[in-house]
Amino acid sequence: TGMEIEERVARGEVHIQPRVPMDELPVEERLSTFEEVVAGYTDEQAQEEAARCLACGVCSECLSCVYACQADAINHEMVEQVRDIEVGAVLLAPGFEAYDAEESGEYGWGRYPNVVTSLQFERLLSAAGPTQGHVQRPSDGETPRRIAFIQCVGSRDQKHDYCSSVCCMYATKEAILSIEHEPETEITVFMMDMRAFSKGYEEYYRRARERYGIRYVRCRISAVKEDPRSHDLVLHYVTEGRQLREETFDLVVLSVGMEIPERARELGRRVGVELDEYGFCRTSPFAPLETTRPGVFALGPFREPKDIPESVVEASGAAGLAGALLAPARWTRTEAEPDVPERDVTGEEPRIGVFVCHCGSNIAGFLDVPGVAEYAASLPGVVHAEDNLYTCSQDTVRHITQTTKELGLNRVVVASCTPLTHESLFQDAIRQAGLNPNLFEMANIRNQCSWVHPDDWDGATEKARDLVRMAVAKAAQLRPLTKTEVQVQKAALVVGGGPAGMNGALVLSRQGFPVHLVEREDRLGGNLLRLYHSLQEATGVGARMWLDPRAYARELVAKVEADPLITVHLKTELLSTSGFMGNFVSRLRGPEGEFEVRHGAAIIATGGVEYRGPEYGYGSDPRILTQQEFERVLATWKTGELGEGAGADRSTSLPDSVVMIQCVGPAERYCSRICCTTALKNALMLKRHKPDAQITVIYRDIRTFGFKERIYSEARRAGVLFVHYDFDRKPEVRVAAGGSSASGDHLEVSVWEESLGQELVLEPDLVVLSMPVVPSEGAHELAARLKLPVDLDGFFLEAHVKLRPVDFSSDGFFLAGMAHYPKFLGEAIAQAQAAAARAATILSRDVLEVGGVVAQVDPEKCVGCLTCVRICPYHIPQIRADLAGAGGIQGAAYIEPAQCHGCGVCAGECPARAIQLLHYRDVQMEAKIAALLEQ
């Protein structure tokens, strides 16, 4: 403030005297004065000023933030505006906030400097963080050698009856990163259960233990104590063997859970949707993205704690549901971008413009950005070079467009971050200036330079110059690339008639697209027909009719069969698919023979099946069942189909004792996600009808993530017993002689109980095995026919776990449901709706542009050696007999531009050098390499 400045002038700290108090000056003059003031600050004074500004509850208009903001994003003259907009649907995605660790005072956060939250620790691990990625103790800046993670802080406690779902895996990730930064670091994770329940998570957890040596201890830490002299942290805990231990750690990380912030709760109340007692939005298991208000959809952690891939899936799913509502209005409010005629640069000498980005301090903090820009101006063909604070900002992107026009640039180079995320943005900028988008080149001086050489200013600067010189050399050789248009077949193919396939078909049909729904069996329904009870029924919560899975199955099948845009093909299988995105031809075989359908996109929803292997004696005794079989036993008893006479005591038909064994067979490799919850659901159903039944669950980890934690709590309250076993000491099941059964023998289950230090021997009436979900029969064969990738467990593999979780790497194909990975019904429905939304982005267009950066064959050089045919991961090249090859031989390779992914493998492997990857031609890459070798 003006008064503070005057005081500092009086003390001689600042050598400027404002004419009037700062808050009375015009904005421009006030900012100029402030710049002069802070120019005289010492580092300590600057930190003082920053702390004062952050602590200010009401803005004092000192303009400190305006001066500090490098992007000029703050405008103190902006006033609040209220606008009314008309919409046809609302998507609620307000997210979550991390639990305030100060509420758990026993852990010392806020009092002990070396206790940090997981988010703070994540920041310490970041190369752009306060310590440049080097983990340091806040108390003394030393590198911690022993780090403890405490799980379930703000989750699974008396105030939070849910699991936050993400904490176990982000703690494992942070632990691995810590060891990769400092290999000598010893890390211990204190947990109740390790909830590695998603695709690839179990293997990640196993690698953390076996490769990185991370120690996992099963216990709940009650308190953290500090040594006031060293600021080391002391933890007391009890081992599984009931031994009291004390350990000292340099740093403690609190894995905080998810909460809904008050502003998100207020949003829900304003919109008029129902929230639960914690502020999460209520939705139905059979309509997981629909709120209690029609037309309003909820997604992400606002609905239930979840990880990034599930949030991305739900975002697409909600968009699909909104698209179904808005389909009649499609394109009615679309504003087309002005068509900028492309300038013909053929024959022009290269006029290259170079724009070098500071990226805040991400790049400029580690190398001389202005110096790199000055160097770029001296390179051959460069007529303009400059440095920008944030090249990707809207203002700078517009500036690039304007500069390209004004200076007549015919090539543009941007030196900044990765082209993976920003190349299309800059290509669009030069397109608006009339240049072909492919007359653009990028130098990655962030990922490949500043981030990997943070301690070598001169070396990083020199390398940035090398990268820019290489990019300029290639840019001079660039040629415009053209694309062609192909018509889109406005129909979809959905393979699989289970709940995922049917929901995907319905979302597409409601958007106005015809759908061919293919099912191998003689009826629709899939695994939905094998469900008899919902989780809500097992816990006694919710309306029975709405939450009856079989009633939902009948309703869903009826909707599909009554939809005029959905053609159902029962007892039919897919034989082959040819073509490319937007224009496929699939050959099907049904009861009446083979036939073809044309479609623009395809959804694979072939589901999964319950594993039925021989582990634990399954198949050798009728008293050893799977969970699916046991659920049917409970259902048939409930409906009176067991044949009891009128008035009989029906409870005698149910077993008095049951042992359930988790993680059977393939579930030792991967978590099947649904098994724990299914087991507890069936256990509670038995307890509801026979409260005295003795039920023991033998488990490795109970993975009831999210709100499913409540069914775990309910099972414990109902008297279900839980016995933990280690992977190296699995339980044993045998049929022993003697007993009261009709066969004269009985079942015995033995398991080592760590707490008691002895083996337990149980004699149940039934042994129920929690068999995992495995890929459905024929899924592997279908993958081979369609050339779609699968993972090591046989499930279809998505293109990217976070960025494209429902897309295949082959364009135009999408996946949903258990074909992707085991999942609950609600999750399968949401993913099907997401796949339909992604397919609609293709089907809603009239034409698609194909070509661009693709491989191109010169037939006159091709010798027909089949190398490209064999090596292409997408199986695109083919030998065409109508093309003349080298020396006039019959047949040469052809690559369909609409199908080519531009990976360049064929170009690199072709022995005759007959294939060129456009935009990466030999002459362009050779120029780039020659520039690298220049002195």
Query: Would you say how long the chain is, in residues?
Result: 935
Give the DSSP H or E segment for 171.
helix 167-181
Mean pLDDT score, 527-539: 88
Mean pLDDT score, 199-206: 96
Measured between alpha carbons, how far is 80 from 14 in angstroms, rounded to an integer? 36
pLDDT of amino acid 832: 98
Measured between alpha carbons, how far is 324 from 788 in angstroms, rounded to an integer? 28
Mean pLDDT score, 579-589: 94
Buried b (16+ CB within 10 A) or exposed e, 821-857: bbbbbbbbbbbbbbbbbbbbebbbeeebebbbebbbb
- pLDDT > 60? residue 739: no
A 10 A CB-CB count for 128 gives 16
Average pLDDT, the chain: 91
pLDDT tens-digit map of 626-652: 999 999 999 988 665 544 333 334 445
- List beta partners, residue 915: 857
pLDDT tens-digit map of 163-194: 999 999 999 999 999 999 999 999 999 999 99
Measured between alpha carbons, how far is 181 from 163 in angstroms, rounded to an integer? 30
Measured between alpha carbons, how far is 524 from 519 in angstroms, rounded to an integer? 7
CA distances from 833 to 316, 505, 603 (A): 7, 9, 11
- Residue 824 · residue 288 · CB < 8 Å: no
- pLDDT > 90? residue 792: yes
pLDDT tens-digit map of 117-146: 999 999 999 877 888 788 999 999 999 999
Measured between alpha carbons, how far is 259 from 100 in angstroms, rounded to an integer? 9
Measured between alpha carbons, how far is 675 from 140 in angstroms, rounded to an integer? 47
pLDDT of amino acid 736: 87
Buried b (16+ CB within 10 A) or exposed e, 913-934: ebbbbbbbbeebbebbeebeee
- pLDDT > 60? residue 59: yes
pLDDT of amino acid 17: 44
- Residue 451 · residue 480 · CB < 8 Å: no
Lookup: tokens for 326:
């808005």
Measured between alpha carbons, how far is 341 from 344 in angstroms, rounded to an integer? 9
- Backbone φ and ψ for 116, nearest 5 degrees, come out as -125, 160
Burial of 902 (0-12, 13-18, 19+ CB in 10 A): middle
Of 130-139, 531-540, 610-619, 693-702, the one with minimum mean pLDDT is 531-540
- pLDDT > 80? residue 7: no
Mean pLDDT score, 74-102: 93
Of 245-254, 532-541, 590-599, the one with minimum mean pLDDT is 532-541
Cα angle for residues 274, 275, 281 (degrees, 5° grid): 95
Measured between alpha carbons, how far is 749 from 739 in angstroms, rounded to an integer? 14
Mean pLDDT score, 711-729: 95
Give the chain's end-to-end CA distance (angstroms, integer): 54
CA distances from 45 to 18, 66, 67, 130, 295 (A): 19, 18, 16, 19, 53
Mean pLDDT score, 210-222: 95
pLDDT of amino acid 644: 38
User: Amino acid identity of 286?
Assistant: F
pLDDT category at 9 given cuts 50, 70, 90 is low
- Closest among 820, 556, 547, 830 to 681, alpha carbons compared: 547
pLDDT tens-digit map of 146-168: 999 999 999 999 999 999 999 99
pLDDT of amino acid 614: 96
What pTM value is reported for the model? 0.86
